[in-house]
Amino acid sequence: MYVLIGGAGLVGLSLAQKLVELGHTVAVIDIDPIACRYAREQVGAMAFEGSAVSTEVLLEAGIRKAGSLAAVLRSDALNLAMVTLAKHYGVTHILSRMRHPDFAEPLRIAGANHIISTVELSVSTMVNAIEYPQVESMMHFEQGQIEVLKLSIPNNCYVAGRSVAEIAQDSQFPTGSLIIGYQSHPHENLIIPNGSTILEPHSTVLIVTKPGSLHQVIDFIEQRC
């Protein structure tokens, strides 16, 4: 896929690097010639020096053929302008970084399919790390309405040695929660479990639940026999 990135700061260059590694063709736009040279020589992306909200620069960078566009410029106003232009030129998949929540609705109206609040994401990640230190990772979906957490199965806990079906039918297991992934060992592949899958001690599970049930899920998994 041809991906166009507006902004060659730390986020823009890191994003470009990952996308290049995944095999995408990436073009970066930035007003800084040094950043553009770095993108070409160190990242392996194409780079266009100039304003990412200039129609001339965008056309030169190939916005008409871009499958995805990411606006990660220095201000929300510039990102909003780039999203608007991307929509105008027919880009179907548009992402934007957002610093201030006042820009969320304007970005959506302008055509952004995905809006990533860097402040909200950082704060949420740190809060979760403080409040749930036993959770290896946590992902949020649908504006925080759904949570997916990764938990280890402690030795001698209530669920160790039980099947997924037994756990799902247990009255203590929070309603609306579901075990969707299982990894028996860090070096093994993550699998989609079925009812007969046994949760072994020191294995890892992925559980989908609602924010209000997080504490209940963690307490249930970690309770001792």
Please state whether the predicted TM-score (pTM) of the whole model is above 0.85.
no
pLDDT band at 8 (very low <50, low <70, confident <90, very high): very high
pLDDT of residue 140: 67
Q: Where are the domains of the chain?
A: 2-117, 129-222
What three-state secondary structure class fits 146?
strand
pLDDT in tens, 40-94: 999 999 999 999 999 999 999 999 999 999 999 999 999 999 999 999 999 999 9
Do 2-117 and 129-222 fold alike per CATH? Answer: no
pLDDT in tens, 95-117: 999 999 999 999 999 999 999 88
**What is the DSSP secondary-structure string of 101-133?**
GGGHHHHHHHT-SEEEEHHHHHHHHHHHHHH-T
C-alpha span between 2 and 67 (Å, rounded): 6
> Which of 3.40.50.300, 1.20.120.530, 3.30.70.3420, 3.40.50.720 would CATH assign to domain 2-117?
3.40.50.720
pLDDT in tens, 192-214: 999 999 999 989 999 999 888 88
Mean pLDDT score across all residues of the chain: 91
User: Is residue 157's pLDDT more than 90?
Assistant: no
Q: Is residue 170 within 8 Å of 138, Cβ to Cβ?
A: no
Count other Cβ atoms within 10 Å, centred on residue 202: 12
Q: Bridge partners of 183? A: 204
Q: Is residue 58 within 8 Å of 84, Cβ to Cβ?
A: no
CATH 1.10.10.10 for the 129-222 domain, yes or no: no
Count other Cβ atoms within 10 Å, centred on residue 70: 29
